[in-house]
Chain A
């Protein structure tokens, strides 16, 4: 077929459309590559969390941004890569403040789900307990920065009608935060605010007046991560 490429994932022969990212191509072939900052609803994947790191012809690369090519040899589930993914999830837990039992997103949180998936009991790294603020100022939203994993989904996806950024990445390094525009936060339409809350993989962007609205057992990741 034109535009189709053949490649292998962990030894299994796969086919996909040329130009697809490895994450998409793997999923089309029934193989799940763990992801966190990636979302199929958000364009411009950034390769920020690195949990989709795979070996591409022997070199490490993020599966959400690298595209499949004919003859590519991809490894996803090696012990070393799985341990690296686990370490990345653990690093996220220690760099922020994640108190799952008290979080509105608990059970629907992609970070928590990843932690269950990797059976993390206690992170290997010491906690850093950063001091992060809570932003109540937006009309429809509460931003709980302690829980932000800086995936930049909201930064990439949420725009005003005239294409301006609503969220942006401020500072750098361990001081990095994602902030909302003070003016747009006051005036943004309810639907856009809901979209922002929905796109957030963790409990950072919360819609005001909503929370703990479904009983345990019916939440997204209650049955399996």
Chain B
């Protein structure tokens, strides 16, 4: 057995961890990460101490712990493996890798081996869709797994190798955080565009340009560029800043949304690996424009390995006085940025849930209005923008809004970074002008065999590859950047199942339609896929899906049935093919094997097929 610390030891260590933090609930997630890392779970004995420190009840601490996928109350093994179970991983051989892990580690998924050394778990997309199948091992992503590499990894774990050793990182790399980050998750830039991926960047140019203007002029500059948010919703950035600038508040905050949880998206990973300072400069420009003194980068836990690289970048910026007090000598312009981690929750990408999470709570979206620009982090006016949006801000300030405005379409100006994965020859990130046709894109991705394309991830739309004239832009196919290609041989109902299960898993559970409705849709789709469905079940699914869309409380529930709806619309024949042809005398959708599973286990018998 692995040594599990006794209660007294846990208490002593917890106390010393807690001593390093102020009594401020917004530090709770950081504290829980330290505990999780140290003990490979959050020990029961630590909870009263954490509660006492924060001045909250134990049940309240547990509210935060139980919400996040990567916080556990059971031991997850000294080496904790989280294998990505999203659709891109499944298409690339998830099942083989899963089997290989179970065989090598000698335990099933959802548990640890008998020594408590290796724990196997599943997780949703970890932002490595261009390098599937992938898994996180103690927070480090391992891409392009094969049964052979799994065998080698498990062997290394048994030998007690460090995670970096498992990865094959040598001395030369471990001393350079940027090179290391690139080595861990290669950027895979396939197409450099004129705004972000193909342009040189020199630290400080953007802030220097910004300081030539008054704060109000910065907002005008962004306004003239017609920049819209790149996180998916496409809200005009200048308008958001304007609201925040005119909102009353003694403190204001700038938050960068680096939660990037939509399966199929990984462009923020690349932007943070290659040009993190540009993102921070964009945040500083926003701070200057609205009058904020503190910024946060909310980093999804799956990208935790980037922290040393990001921290070092922040240090460099501080050294150059591009962050800190009186930035570049401008008195009154003080701004700094801290990195805050998520802990495995897709819904925390929703901006108000993100703010709850920043405050150390469970990531339940807030009711709006009031919007974060008025009542945000700690109740103060807050700007939340996506990583790509801040990167664009930095470029626009440097090169001017008019230049940017000439690219793209009428309502979607500039370029968009697409994260491309699935059945194509060239997965990776592409910077393209808004308005490119599906036909061109499929050629670009080397996706000649495509049957369907998922635009904007599971919360977006499924389209047929034959819809070649459609365009990627807010006017037609809006997207936060996720593009998953499905080849001719893929089953669309199976894809839809993966997507709806994702939402059922990630629903925060606050409202009824999303919490209860998504599992109901999942069950029904399963019934159909397993050949136990009737034609009317398809209509029911559409009806219920529309109900969930119409009545859910936040964007997660409102968009969760999109893929089922569009998939049925475009590929109805694939659903009909799975429908039971004859209506027998028995209850058609009754799964006798599942119903008898428990009694069979008890009696040790197996049901005969008739």
Contacts and interface: CB of A to CB of B under 8 A. Distances in A.
Interface of A: 46-51, 53, 60, 62, 65, 84, 87-88, 91-92, 94-95, 124-126, 128, 149-150, 152, 160, 164-176, 179-184
B226 interface: no
Contact of A49 (B56, B512, B518): B512
Which 3 residue pairs spanning A and B have beta carbons closest together? A176-B509, A181-B59, A168-B63
A174 B500 CA distance: 13
Contacts of A176: 509, 515
B59 A150 contact: no
Contact of B511 (A47, A179, A182): A47
B323 interface: no
Given A160-B57, A176-B515, A181-B59, A171 B67 contact: yes
A182 B515 contact: no
A50 B511 contact: yes
18 contacts: A46-B510, A50-B551, A50-B552, A60-B550, A65-B367, A87-B547, A88-B513, A91-B512, A126-B524, A128-B520, A164-B57, A168-B57, A169-B364, A170-B66, A173-B507, A174-B504, A174-B518, A181-B59
Interface in B182-212: none
Interface in B57-91: 57-60, 62-63, 66-67
A124 B161 CA distance: 55
A155 to B, nearest CB: 9
A150 B509 contact: yes
Contacts, number: 134
B519 A128 contact: yes
Given A84-B547, A126-B523, A92 B57 contact: no
Interface residues of B, number: 42
B367 A47 contact: yes
Contact of A50 (B56, B508, B513): B513
Given A170-B62, A176-B509, A62 B515 contact: no
A160 B347 CA distance: 30
Contacts of B345: 172
Dominant secondary structure of chain B at its interface with chain A: helix
B506 interface: yes
Contacts of A91: 512-513, 516-517, 520
Contact of A168 (B62, B507, B518): B62
Contacts of A128: 519-520, 523
A179 B516 contact: no
Nearest to A91: B516
A174 B509 contact: yes
A171 B509 contact: yes
Nearest to B506: A173
Contacts of A94: 516, 520
A48 B553 contact: yes
Contacts of B551: 50, 53, 60, 84, 88
Nearest to A164: B57
B113 interface: no
A91 B508 CA distance: 17
A165 B60 contact: yes
Given A48-B511, A170-B66, A182 B367 contact: no
B552 A95 contact: no
A48 B520 contact: no
A172 B512 contact: no
Residue of A92, A165, A174 with most partner-chain B CB within 10 A: A174
B63 A170 contact: yes
A173 B57 contact: no
B553 A50 contact: yes
Given A164-B55, A174-B504, 12 more contacts: A46-B367, A47-B367, A87-B544, A95-B512, A125-B520, A165-B60, A165-B63, A168-B63, A170-B59, A172-B66, A172-B508, A179-B62
Nearest to A125: B520
A151 to B, nearest CB: 9
Interface of B: 48, 55-60, 62-63, 66-67, 345, 347, 362, 364, 367, 504-513, 515-520, 523-524, 540, 544, 547, 550-553, 589
Contacts of A168: 57, 59-60, 62-63
B59 A62 contact: no
B277 to A, nearest CB: 35
Nearest to A88: B512
Contact of B56 (A60, A164, A180): A164
A166 B367 contact: no
Contacts of B519: 95, 128, 173-174
B57 A181 contact: yes
Nearest to B507: A173
Given A91-B520, A92-B516, A128-B520, A175 B509 contact: yes
Contacts of A184: 57, 59
Nearest to A184: B57
A149 B519 CA distance: 16
B551 to A, nearest CB: 5
A167 B515 contact: no
B105 to A, nearest CB: 26
Contacts of B60: 164-165, 168, 181
A219 B505 CA distance: 39
A120 to B, nearest CB: 15
A152 B367 CA distance: 14
A165 B56 contact: yes
B599 to A, nearest CB: 15
Nearest to B510: A48
B513 A95 contact: no
B52 to A, nearest CB: 11
A174 B515 contact: yes
B63 A62 contact: no
A46 B589 CA distance: 36
B65 to A, nearest CB: 9
A118 B66 CA distance: 35
Contacts of B524: 126
A142 B62 CA distance: 20
A22 to B, nearest CB: 13
Contacts of A171: 66-67, 509
Nearest to B522: A174
Contacts of A46: 367, 510
Contacts of B59: 165-168, 170, 179-182, 184
B48 to A, nearest CB: 8
Contacts of B367: 46-47, 62, 65
Contacts of B362: 169, 172
Contacts of B540: 124
A95 B509 CA distance: 12
B63 A173 contact: no
Contacts of A62: 367, 553
Looking at B55, B509, B550, the one whose CB has the most chain A CB atoms below 10 A away is B509
Contacts of B505: 173
Q: Which of B57, B67, B513, B540 has the most CB of A within 10 A?
A: B57
